[in-house]
Amino acid sequence: MAGKGSVILLIAIVYAFLVVFMLIGIVASIYILMMLVLRPKAVGRFVVVIPPHACESEVATLLCAARLRVGLMGDIVRGDIVALDCGMSEQCRLQCAALCRELDHTTLVNP
């Protein structure tokens, strides 16, 4: 009798692992389908407009968030990020330029 209970427990553990991996597969499939639907079809540019009153941390947050968004969509090679300067301070502009050099496919444009 003791052997029968351990076999049932082993089968329950195997089924639990199968259910977990099936759920992971379903979630991954939904994620892939969403990325196929939401992915832009052509080469594009993502424009980040930096307001005049932005401080250094806001600029870094805006640029890094845009870079992550482009990376999440899988367009790192196809997409560029253009940071448009709308009157930043000189110190903020220097930090933004350094950050643009550090990030791939990111440029700072002055109007």
pLDDT tens-place string over residues 60-107: 888 888 778 777 766 555 667 777 777 777 888 888 888 888 887 788
Quick check: 55 pLDDT over 70?
Answer: yes
Domain-wise residue ranges, the chain:
1-38, 42-109
pLDDT score of 97: 84
pLDDT tens figures, 10-54: 999 999 999 999 999 999 999 888 877 776 565 566 666 767 677
Which residues touch 53 (CB under 8 Å, ≥6 apart)? none
pLDDT score of 39: 65
